[in-house]
Chain A
């Protein structure tokens, strides 16, 4: 357990609204290894925010256990809270104060040395704009300032709930590289998102939830291969004959306009079979095995089915 930054077992949370019970999180076993970026993925309403809020003691779990760096929470949260930095809300700053002044006020409030302010501003790459008023910042800069605020206590675990919401591509890139940089300096970053593409490049490990349940988790590359063989796109003159031939091999073939898409085989297999039958492909291309596809497949699986997939 010591090498886990976060772990939950059998976590459950239901909300009652107007007499109805909404299961937000159900039997969730989440493991976030210490070090690296862990993406916490799931479509809207899948329980990511609820899980994060439970970890931070803001929302009370109905059932289950949670630990942060091996310390049970929320029971002993005060003992580890100093090691956790989190953004749970769109951050609020004093508009007419500089970024530095804002952080100095916060540092004072939480009893952190003011010297630390310069350090964290450098960490998020805001050093050169630190003395401008916050109202002149771009959305991405404000988000980075919020990240800097969480760094004031020099935490080991950073929890960001959809930190790129509302940012443009440049802003997303800024925040993304900031997170990657933190992980490279030995911190654990737990970042939630409903868009896989946003975190795919920087995540080391990930967990995917759908309707409150874990459907997959593990290192990103393992999950990629668990997604099954990538489909192969084939362009041939005689599509009907080729289709018949490839199906005969037990592969799945679909006709997509001018091309055939074969799944269950590698491009090498496809090429060999066609060549042996005297057919030549004018196009042969492996579709990239995209995590996005894995993600979509997984989150569409019936979450009530007992076989949650775990690639680990």
Chain B
């Protein structure tokens, strides 16, 4: 098995698609870094001047009507709390400052986690594609049948391919995520906008990167499994897109009203360490005789999302294995 893994590893790294994967991932990271750099830039002279002008007016207004505004605000907040006890109108903000008239500025501390989430989408898509080509290209070019004449034990061939695809892709994704964190740091540090970085921020980013890596390994395995089943990379990509639109979006979340079981929800729960979704709640007849159905917010913990995905992946892998074992390899 060790020898087979080495063979597959060499083949995997020799694949053109894998190089493009790396290029694509790095490009995604750099783009995200660029976006972070732009969003964390200090305001320009013109922006500052304009904000200064506006804040002067606003402060004058505040000096005159500030107390009045605060009472008004509190009254509105009180009213809102009758239906939503957690309503907070932030009535004690005090006098307007120049910051409120400047475009919002991103910092590493506040935004790196979200930016990493954007990188993740791209990384997962590429992982899926590269896992799929690794298997499908060999099946459709006949390289697989040549290889099977050297190693006819299909179980080993299947396992070594799946293992290499997921482990290598997962490792690459981890490296890319760590790189992304580094790039985000540099991009914001250039603008002196790292913000208040606490130990917890870094722990969150580290955990987030690890979860992206695991998800990427899963995506590559899914791609490989579907590659065994469908034999063409394009078919794999098309079926995954079709799944997200038709099954996930229309059927599961729409018609069946079960967003808990949509792949997107579970993926989100895994990547973001838990997520919330809305489910149609009990319907009540309102005083006017109409039917009001209020959506209920629910949370899906990270572990539940992860386990659901693992179970789904296991089903695909098992199916792929059975089909590969039985099918004629042309």
Q: Which A residues form the contact surface with B (CB < 8 A)?
A: 53, 56-60, 74, 77-78, 81, 84, 86, 88-92, 105, 109-111, 153
Against A, the Cβ 8 Å flags (1 = close, 0 = not) of B135-151 are 00000011101101111
Known contacts: A53-B328, A109-B7, A109-B10. The answer to whether A58 contacts B148 by CB under 8 A is yes
Residues of A within 8 A of B87 (CB): none
Cβ contacts under 8 Å, B328 to chain A: 53, 58-60
Chain B, residues 142-175, CB within 8 Å of chain A (1/0): the string is 1101101111110000000000000000000000
A88 and B143 CA atoms in complex are apart in Å by 10
Residues on B with C-beta less than 8 A from A111 are 3
Distance of A86 Cα from B7 Cα, bound (Å): 19
Interchain Cβ contacts under 8 Å between A and B, 25 examples: A56-B148, A56-B149, A57-B148, A58-B145, A58-B148, A58-B328, A58-B329, A59-B328, A59-B330, A74-B152, A78-B153, A81-B149, A81-B150, A81-B151, A84-B149, A88-B146, A89-B143, A92-B141, A92-B143, A92-B146, A109-B7, A109-B10, A109-B150, A110-B150, A111-B3
Complex Cα–Cα for A86 and B148 (A): 10
Residue of B nearest to A94 (CB): B14
In the bound complex, CA of A90 to CA of B142 (Å): 8
Q: How far is the CA of A57 from the CA of B149 in the complex (A)?
A: 8
Partner of A88, one of B10, B145, B152: B145
Minimum CB–CB distance for A280 against chain B, Å: 62
A53, B330: Cα distance in complex, Å: 8
Given A89-B142, A89-B145, also A56-B150 (CB < 8 A): no
Min distance, Cβ A228 to any Cβ of chain B, angstroms: 40
User: Measured between C-beta atoms, what is the minimum distance from B239 to chain A in Å?
Assistant: 22
Cβ-defined contact, A81 with B326, below 8 A: no
Determine the chain A residues whose CB is within 8 A of the CB of B141 once the complex forms: 92
Assembly CA distance A89 to B329 (angstroms): 12
Give the residues in chain A near B153, CB-CB below 8 Å.
78
Could you say which residues of chain B place their CB within 8 Å of the CB of A57?
A: 148, 152
Question: Complex formed: what's the CA distance from A62 to B98 in Å?
Answer: 81
Apart from the given pairs A59-B330, A88-B149, 4 other A-B contacts in the complex at a CB distance below 8 Å = A74-B152, A78-B153, A105-B10, A109-B10
For B145, the chain A residues whose CB sits under 8 A away are 53, 58, 88-89
B14: min CB distance to chain A, Å: 8
Q: A149 — nearest CB in chain B belongs to which residue?
A: B146
Minimum C-beta distance from B26 to chain A (A): 25
The CA-CA distance from A89 to B330 in the complex, in Å, is 9
Across the interface, do B152 and A78 meet the contact criterion of CB distance under 8 Å? yes
CB-nearest residue of chain B relative to A88?
B145
Is the pair B149, A86 in contact by a Cβ cutoff of 8 Å? yes
Closest chain B CB from A150 CB (angstroms)? 8
Residue of B at shortest CB range from A50? B328
Give Cα A86–Cα B146 distance, bound, in whole angstroms: 8
Q: Contacting A81 at CB < 8 Å: which of B7, B142, B152, B330?
A: B152
A60 close to B7 (CB less than 8 A) = no
Residues of B within 8 A of A92 (CB): 141-143, 146
State in angstroms the CA–CA spacing of A48 and B3 once bound together. Answer: 33
Give Cα distance in the complex from A89 to B141, angstroms: 9
Tell me whether A56 and B152 are in contact in the complex, defined as CB-CB below 8 angstroms, given that A88-B145, A88-B146, A92-B141 are known contacts. Answer: yes
**A120 CB, min distance to chain B CBs, angstroms:** 15
User: Would you list which residues of chain B between 151 and 206 have a CB under 8 Å from chain A?
Assistant: 151-153
In the bound complex, CA of A92 to CA of B144 (Å) = 11
A166, B143: Cα distance in complex, Å: 20
| Chain B residue contacts of A59, Cβ below 8 A | 328-330
Q: Mark B112-151, 1 if CB is under 8 A from A, else 0.
A: 0000000000000000000000000000011101101111
Assuming the contacts A53-B328, A92-B141, asked whether A58 and B149 have C-beta atoms less than 8 A apart, the reply is yes
Residue in chain B with minimal CB distance to A153: B150
A90 and B7 alpha carbons, distance in the complex (Å):
21
**Which A residues are CB-close (under 8 A) to B143?**
89, 92
Complex CA distance for A252 and B153, rounded to whole angstroms: 58
B152 touches A91 (CB 8 A): no
CB distance A89 to B146 under 8 Å?
Answer: yes
Nearest 6 CB-CB pairs, A to B? A89-B142, A59-B328, A109-B7, A77-B152, A57-B152, A58-B329
Closest to B10 in A: A109
Complex CA gap A53/B327 in Å reads: 12
Closest to B150 in A: A110
Task: Return chain A residues, CB-CB under 8 Å to B3.
Answer: 111
Chain B residue with minimal CB distance to A56?
B149
Bound-state CA distance A78–B153 (Å) is 7
Question: Which B residues lie within 8 Å of A105 (CB)?
Answer: 10
Q: Which residues of the other chain, A, contact B329 by a CB distance below 8 angstroms?
A: 58-59
- Residue among A58, A74, A88, A91 with the highest chain B CB neighbour number at 10 A: A58
> Which residues of the other chain, B, contact A89 by a CB distance below 8 angstroms?
142-143, 145-146
Q: Which residue of B lies closest to A13 (CB)?
A: B328
